[in-house]
Structure 1
């Protein structure tokens, strides 16, 4: 099991050895009915028992090209059988309750199986994006203390299993789909596997406060931060993503977001586990395949970044050849939604857009067509929970407390138009970083999570929050967070670089792309190809690579020496 670094302040991190949340919080939130004794495995077992022979899970239609494996369609009963066999394999490899399993798989049936099998045994899942290479795998493996790792032998032109072997040479257990793992899972005797797994689960009962995942988030620090989650807070969070789109067992959810963080896990996977229905996996994102899956599977709900929704609205020819008549709602977020886009989808296609704003540390705000029918308002505003006389239908509106704090003075903001950092408190907020010893405390003196995102109060009754800016220095490219500090540290090691700043610049499809602003050393020459080659040699994920290079004689700085990145972003845009 992962052990937090010695001396880590209790306020800054969760203790995985004794449950994530303190006893006082557990007692308070369970008394209020916000947390219950539910666990992930209990929800899954209930789904299996209720409708064992109903279709539950569908593979990506391009799985043969992605992994060389045939796509599958599993009922709840068949999925349960596979989960049991995989759990038995984990036990045979020495993995059990409290161990952390690194997982690097695309959105497939196998990824769902791994999650559910781990939760049956009490193994902690730590999912990594498939784009991560040796640099990130080694870094996160050291931070989390992986007891094992699950990946694939081949993914496109890459060999992820070989990359893991290089990055984590002392790894106790490496399980690889496309090598021996497929036969090991398929060959497990069903009765023996179930007996072994059920005996182990009975001897190691899950506590809802147990850690079930460690996801990773990039922010202002150069090293990703580990975000642990328990049954308690994941299951409280997913009520928000059930309530906003009004999901039921009749829904077909098409999931194009990688199941590695809040968007994929809480936006799609857990709502499916909570209500039933069908989960259709998609990976990697491919627009023709995505549109074909909507038509073939009769998807009723999906999620997509705002740039893609704007592109589809502008390119009517793309949708004219597609059948999206089954869609009733689309979730979007990670960047401000253009009001014209939200209005266009509603007016032209009769599809409402749910506006999400959240993070791995704590889902925050959701604006849906039921509470805010006006699409232009829905694009601009989020609920300001707790305003007297204003009610919202989502149950988290009665559980999550929000406030704004002036980032300069520390004063609470209560008047419209004055910017303040959004802070959150409630059952959806995480307990603290697992690697918190090297990080600032993410909570303020009142126990609120400091999100780093700046809003103002708006609306006739002050019932809305309007996004202004992010205080945190991150780039969001296609929904993936990129920490400029990590890239700046690597670029600074280039022998021809004297100074560097990394910023994002707008892109109509991905939202943002990466630009490196570099001051070369005297007499040195530097090209984008030079820089990208230097970063590739560090074996970092390719989505982080700069796509633009600007050379400067100096970087703009304020009187205390801080780089004025807002000026750089404005200049580049």
Structure 2
């Protein structure tokens, strides 16, 4: 169906002045897992074979409307945007920044940038002036596209204030804008003449620069190519059994790696309808899944929790929903059981990160391997557990998680000093993990999240999973609390269902009943309404650490 791969006569030209090293090219040639296609190759195939099929259904919350676009209708927008970006001076290798929620304009912009060889820089809608000034300035974007107003915040006014500080930023385009800066006027209108550039991205050129989500310190601009991203999509589709017959619902922000890659790119790769909404509301999500016969969805555990515990959810017509892929945080077993009972679906688990895409996933065809792990390696990536001297450890031993493979990113934008990939392709993820005898991966925690109490390492993730089994608990996180004698003690931050009361004594007695060692028990409980999270649902433990630094037993 795909025909001949596009010409890739300059495979090492990532971006102007940035080259892909020969060792990486040789390693990938031996592996043979890079597809040597770009996303628009797949889009054009569906456009030519079934132009009137639905490509995208996007719900807009502030208007209560849905936009449904066929491949043919979406293609018109893509071509107009591509031509107008060219008219406005965007050249191959230039960066286009866009800070948009999950709306059809985001998808059209991505495809248009690929058509003209531009690099996409998607930005989370939650980012404000400080983040945008750093990120848009660092990538040197010529154009920034933002909504006029989103969730009662004036993005247009914020973007306008950026231009004096960012000399490379030539244009600010406003979705729903009323002036000459309007998205409709500047990008959607059919150009009078000048066609779009024919300089489409090649498979090994940088497709996107995406900044890490901010669960740690300064964000880093992770660079990926079409080959690195498509390789992980192909491997994941093969593992979890998603096919061209599925209908996908995407609650995760498109501007997050998970939503960008396994939402937009996966749907285009398979040619399946993508259903989404711009503001997360469980009631709206359930209505959309009912209306459009959604079969597959994914996201962090909070998304699944909101659906599984939604009132009267068993009375809703969600019989088509067969699979939910959970990633981004450990999924409580009680939540998985509740979702499977309410929907009759399978909950699979995956582990990944912006730099690598999804690394491992459980297998619907191998239930014997269990759901208590993060699955085993995808074909696009291999993992190993090593000690402090980088010697590989045997099954059952916890150590540093290193990964390598076709999905490994190609660098941090303008920060080559941070690119911790060795000559053999191994990348230190910063995670602590172990494997069982079957090769299934289990994340123990982040190195920075380690709690060391009197010289004893606390198994943070294991304790958090046990706490999640308490019926009162909605979400929980273990954080190190400084102690003058032991160095650190364990503080549990917990949010309960419907603000149910919970005491430290109850938590301790529950954990002791599960056979947990006494030195692993929390010694302080902080009840909170919600844990701080990134827009994609990851708990921001660094914020909790800042709070815990002021606590005592």
TM-score (norm 1): 0.73
Question: Structure 1 residues 356, 136: CA separation in 2 closer, same or farther (over 3 Å shift)?
Answer: same
1:326 is aligned, of 320, 326, 333, to 320
Task: Tell me by how many angstroms 1:266 deviates.
Answer: 1.6
CA deviation after TM superposition for structure 1 residue 546, in Å: 10
For residues 220 and 185 of structure 1, the distance between their equivalents in structure 2, rounded to whole angstroms, comes to: 34
Hey, what does 2:386 align to over in structure 1? 405
* 2:98–2:122 CA contact under 8 A, matched in 1: yes
Aligned mates of 2:67, 2:90 — CA distance in 1: 27
Q: Secondary structure of 1:97's partner?
A: coil
Contact 1:300/1:328 (8 A) holds in 2 = yes
The range that moved more, 242-251 or 19-28, is 19-28
Deviation digits for residues 464-486 of structure 1, max 9, x if unmatched?
22221111459x9xxxxxxx9xx
Give the 5 Å matches for 1:259-270: 259-270=254-265
CA RMSD of aligned residues (A): 3.1
- Deviations 1:105-141 (CA, angstroms, capped at 9, x unpaired): 1101111000000110011110110011101010112
| Counterpart-to-counterpart distance in 2, 1:299 and 1:250 | 11
Residues 66-116 of structure 1: CA deviation (Å, up to 9, x unaligned): xxxx53211101110110011111112111211111100110111100000
- For 1:128 and 1:434, the matched residues in 2 are separated by 15
Residue 367 of structure 1 is matched in structure 2 by 361
**Match in the other structure for 1:128:** 123
CA distance in 2, matches of 1:453, 1:549: 18
CA distance in 1, matches of 2:423, 2:204: 24
The 3 A distance-change label for structure 1 pair 246 and 366 is: same
- Partners of 2:98 and 2:492 lie apart in 1 by 29
Does residue 405 of structure 2 align to residue 429 of structure 1? no
Match of 1:451 among 429, 441, 446: 429
State whether residues 135 and 167 of structure 1, in contact with CA within 8 Å, keep that contact through their aligned partners in structure 2: no
User: Contact 1:153–1:161 at 8 Å: present in 2 too?
Assistant: yes
Deviations 1:155-187 (A, max 9, x none): 132111210111232321111111222134443
Distance 1:547 1:288, change over 3 A: farther
2:236–2:358 CA contact under 8 A, matched in 1 = no
Higher relative contact order (CA 8 A, sep 6+): 1
Equivalent residue runs for 1:20-169 within 5 Å: 21-62=20-61, 64=63, 71-169=66-164
Separation in structure 2 between the aligned mates of residue 546 and residue 419 of structure 1, nearest angstrom = 23
Residue correspondence of structure 1 range 162-311 to structure 2 within 5 A: 162-169=157-164, 170=167, 171-179=169-177, 180-188=182-190, 196-197=195-196, 200-201=197-198, 204-218=199-213, 222-310=217-305
- Relative to structure 1, is the Cα distance of residues 472 and 442 closer, same or farther in structure 2, using a 3 angstrom cutoff? farther
The 2-side partners of 1:291 and 1:211 are apart by: 36
Distance 1:546 1:435 in 2: 25
Decide whether the 8 Å contact of 1:342 with 1:379 is kept in 2. Answer: no
Structure 1 partner of 2:373: 380
Going from structure 1 to structure 2, the CA distance change for 1:42 and 1:381 (only over 3 Å counts) comes to closer
In the TM superposition, what is the alpha-carbon distance from 1:326 to its structure 2 partner? Answer: 1.3
2:433 is the counterpart of 1:463: no
Which runs of 5 or more residues in structure 2 are unaligned? 1-12, 451-460, 462-478, 480-490, 498-538
Instruction: Give deviations 1:26-56, integer Å, cap 9, x for gaps.
Output: 2442343211331122221112112101111
Gaps of 5+ in 1: 1-13, 386-395, 477-483, 485-502, 510-542, 557-567
Q: Secondary structure at the match of 1:168?
A: helix
* d(CA) in 1 for partners of 2:296, 2:145: 29
Note closer, same or farther for the CA distance 1:318–1:366 as it changes in structure 2 (3 Å cut). Answer: farther
Q: Report how many aligned residue pairs link the two structures.
A: 456
Distance 1:181 1:227, change over 3 A: same
